[in-house]
Amino acid sequence: MSLMVEKLAYLKKLRHLTSEDISRLSGVPLGTLNKILSGQTKNPAVGPMDRITRVLRVPIRYLLDDELPPECWVTANSQDGVILLSPEEVRLLLELRRMEPRRRRTAGIMLSLMSAACVKSIGTVAVKRTFCYTIGSSAALPLRSILIPEVDAASREADFAVLLNDASMEPVYSPGSVLLCNQRPPDAQEYGVYLLNQQVLLRRLYRRRGVTRLLAPSLAFPDLQVKQEDHLECLGAITGQARGCRWEQIS
């Protein structure tokens, strides 16, 4: 079986279409279509193939390019044709589609900033650009670009940072600290960044006997019990504190 025939069979199953459906929707005679689907026609004409791919909702290059695997059905339009998307890219694309327009524009600005060239060092120390989210204050800018010196493993591996503007992490971290975060679930002894409904919190997750709580190191901040109807999402683990970082000036 040729790869093109394998892709056609894959797409038929994916789109829940029969040969009769494809023939009817594309206008390609069923006999001609069956010869293409079975591989009997080795070099099908461009016209019928163009109409078939329109029904199957894929670029014609997907069928003709043996470098593209059958599972590569998620595509984006570009001058070059098919763009392979990884599972992570698909997840981000779906999240982007769910955003309201204002947040979508903000995400686009973030992507542009992260893609742009930045300062490579502060003095003799290499730095990385990432984003820092402000926790515990509605007055400050919620999201800012920051340059973090890569002085240890935590700073080198950080995916994002948070600026702590409340006392919830005392005595572990004081207000004003920039905390390094890795985009992974924290272990049992680590504190993490959690989204509880619409609130971003720095807490340690505690689960026992069917009860889930978010615990702060400061006794001034009571434990938060997570109810069944609550939306709880872990955004990452806190891995350390940034030193010598600078806010990036965006013109």
Is residue 134 very low, low, confident or very high in pLDDT (cuts 50, 70, 90)?
confident
Mean pLDDT for the stretch of residues 218-241: 93
DSSP H helices, the chain, are 3-15, 19-26, 30-38, 46-56, 60-64, 87-98, 101-115, 153-157
Radius of gyration of the chain (CA): 26
Cα diameter, the chain: 76
Average pLDDT, the chain: 84
Residue 83: per-residue pLDDT:
59
CA separation for the pair 85, 72 (Å, rounded): 8
CA separation for the pair 14, 87 (Å, rounded): 17
Q: Is 121 helix (H, G, I), strand (E, B) or coil?
A: strand
Least confident of 71-85, 157-171, 226-240: 71-85
CA separation for the pair 46, 67 (Å, rounded): 19
Is residue 139 very low, low, confident or very high in pLDDT (cuts 50, 70, 90)?
very low
Mean pLDDT for the stretch of residues 133-145: 69
> Contact, 85 vs 71, CB < 8 A?
no
Q: Tokens 């992570």 label which residue?
A: 88
Summarised one tens digit per residue, pLDDT across range 174-196 is: 999 999 999 999 998 999 999 99
Summarised one tens digit per residue, pLDDT across range 69-88 is: 777 645 555 554 555 666 67
Terminal Cα-to-Cα distance of the chain (whole angstroms): 57
Q: Tokens 């924290």 label which residue?
A: 186
Going by CATH, does the domain composed of 3-83 fall within 1.10.260.40?
yes
- Phi first, then psi: what are they for 103, rounded to 5°? -70, -35
Per-domain residue ranges of the chain: 3-83, 119-247
Please confirm whether the linkage preceding 171 is cis (ω < 30° from 0). yes
- 129 vs 234 pLDDT, higher one: 234
- 106 vs 158 pLDDT, higher one: 158
Is residue 131 very low, low, confident or very high in pLDDT (cuts 50, 70, 90)?
confident
Summarised one tens digit per residue, pLDDT across range 22-67 is: 999 999 999 999 999 998 998 888 899 999 988 988 888 778 878 7
CA separation for the pair 149, 66 (Å, rounded): 44
> Contact, 165 vs 135, CB < 8 A?
yes
pTM score, two decimals?
0.60
- The CATH fold of domain 119-247: Umud Fragment, subunit A (2.10.109)
> Contact, 141 vs 149, CB < 8 A?
no
